[in-house]
C-alpha cells in the first residue's frame, strides 16, 4: 500500500483517532484536524508512534476560512493531499431527546458541523484531491438510513451527508476523485455518553449486532476507512460502507 498524506477532521478522540492510528500504522502522513489543539497533538504523537507521521492542526470545520487554511497548510507541507476524512460531528450528537425538544441552536450545530463541514471540505479540498486523484471519506451513521426516534437531528444530518457523497461521486468522477462514506458502529466516547444518557440504548444496540460486539475504532473502523482511501478501492465511489457488524438491515 503506497504511503499517503491525509487529513482527518474531528480526530482528537474516538472514531477519528482510530482512523488516524489505522492510517498511521500503514506508514501514512496523517494530519489531525480538530478544534482542540492539545488533544490533536497527542493523537499526532500516537500516529508517529504507530509507524506513521502525525501532525496536528487546529481547524473549525464550520468556518470557511479555517477549513481553507487547514487544507492549504497540510497540502503545502506535504506536497499535496491524497485524502480527506470528515469525521467531525456536533457536540450534541449523543444527546438523546424528543424531537419536539430539539432547539434551533442544537439543529444549527448539527447542520454546521456535519453538513456545512462537508461542503466546506469539498469546496476547498477538491483542487487538492484532483491534483492527486485522491479520495474523500465521510463518516456517517446507520442513523442516516433509518432515522432515530431520540436522535432525529443527528440522523437527519447523517442522511444529508450520504446524499452529498452520492452527488460528489458523480460530480468528481470525471476528475478521478472518489467520494465514499462509512457508517460505523464502533466504541467511542460519544457512544459511551449516549449509553449513559439512555441506559436501555446499550441493550438495544448490542442486541441487534449479529457479530455481537461494537467495532474497535482502529482495527475495525479505521481499517475500513483506510481501505476506501487506498488504491485498493480505486474503483469504488459513491458508496456507503456499513462497518457495523451487520447491525443495520437497510444495507
Partner 1 sequence: MDGPPALFVGTLASARLADALGVRHVLRPPAPPPDRGWAPTDHPLLETWRSEVEAGPQAAGVVVCTWADPPSPAPLATLEPEAWRTQVEWPTSLWFTTVVAAAGRCRDGGALVVVVERPATLDAPGHATTVVVSDGLVNLVRSLAAVEGARGVRVNVVTTEVHTAPDPLLGAAPPLSTFPGRVGVEVAGAVRLLLSPDAVGVTGTALAADCGRG
Do residues 1 and 202 touch, judged by C-beta distance below 8 A? no
The three grid cell numbers given for residue 116, joined into one nine-digit string: 456545512
Query: Of the candidates 104, 199, 210, 235, which one interacts with partner 1 according to CB under 8 A?
Result: 104
Rule CB under 8 A: is residue 148 a binding residue for partner 1? yes
Closest CA to 134 of 245, 29, 35: 29
Rule CB under 8 A: is residue 35 a binding residue for partner 1? no
Cβ at position 156, least distance to partner 1 in Å: 4
Cβ at position 151, least distance to partner 1 in Å: 8
Measure Cα distances from 96 to 52, 104, 195, 225 in Å: 37, 15, 10, 27
The three grid cell numbers given for residue 156, joined into one nine-digit string: 437527519
Examine the residue annotation and report whether 119 is marked as an active-site residue of this protein. no
Do residues 128 and 71 touch, judged by C-beta distance below 8 A? yes
Catalytic residue among 154, 172, 187, 227: 154
Cβ at position 159, least distance to partner 1 in Å: 4
Cβ at position 251, least distance to partner 1 in Å: 15
Contact set for partner 1, span 61-90 (CB under 8 A)? 64
Dist. CA 95–CA 101, nearest whole Å = 11
Do residues 97 and 201 touch, judged by C-beta distance below 8 A? no
Binding site for partner 1 (CB under 8 A): 64, 98-100, 102, 104-105, 107-108, 111-112, 115-116, 119-120, 122-123, 126, 143-149, 151-153, 155-160, 162-164, 166-168, 170-171, 238
Catalytic center residues: 154
Amino acid at each position: 500500500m503506497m504511503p499517503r498524506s491525509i487529513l482527518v477532521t474531528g480526530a482528537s478522540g474516538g472514531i477519528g483517532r482510530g482512523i488516524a492510528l489505522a492510517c498511521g500504522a500503514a506508514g501514512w502522513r496523517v494530519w489531525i484536524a480538530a478544534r482542540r489543539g492539545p488533544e490533536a497533538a497527542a493523537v499526532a504523537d500516537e500516529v508517529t508512534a504507530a509507524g506513521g507521521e502525525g501532525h496536528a492542526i487546529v481547524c473549525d470545520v464550520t468556518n470557511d476560512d479555517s477549513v481553507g487554511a487547514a487544507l492549504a497548510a497540510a497540502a503545502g507541507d506535504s506536497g499535496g493531499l491524497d485524502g480527506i476524512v470528515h469525521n467531525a460531528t456536533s457536540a450534541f450528537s449523543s444527546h438523546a431527546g424528543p424531537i419536539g425538544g430539539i432547539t434551533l441552536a442544537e439543529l444549527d450545530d448539527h447542520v454546521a458541523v456535519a453538513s456545512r463541514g462537508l461542503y466546506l471540505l469539498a469546496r476547498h479540498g477538491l483542487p487538492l484531491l484532483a491534483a492527486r486523484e485522491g479520495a474523500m471519506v465521510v463518516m456517517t451513521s446507520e442513523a442516516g438510513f433509518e432515522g432515530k426516534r431520540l436522535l432525529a437531528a443527528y440522523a437527519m444530518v447523517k442522511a444529508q451527508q450520504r446524499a452529498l457523497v452520492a452527488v460528489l461521486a458523480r460530480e468528481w468522477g470525471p476528475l478521478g476523485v472518489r467520494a465514499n462514506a462509512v457508517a460505523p458502529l464502533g466504541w467511542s466516547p460519544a457512544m459511551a455518553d449516549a449509553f449513559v444518557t439512555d441506559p436501555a440504548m446499550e441493550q438495544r444496540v448490542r442486541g441487534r449486532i449479529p457479530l455481537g460486539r461494537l467495532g474497535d475504532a482502529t482495527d475495525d473502523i479505521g481499517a475500513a476507512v483506510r481501505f476506501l482511501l487506498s488504491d485498493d478501492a480505486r474503483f469504488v465511489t459513491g458508496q456507503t460502507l456499513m462497518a457495523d457488524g451487520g447491525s443495520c438491515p437497510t444495507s
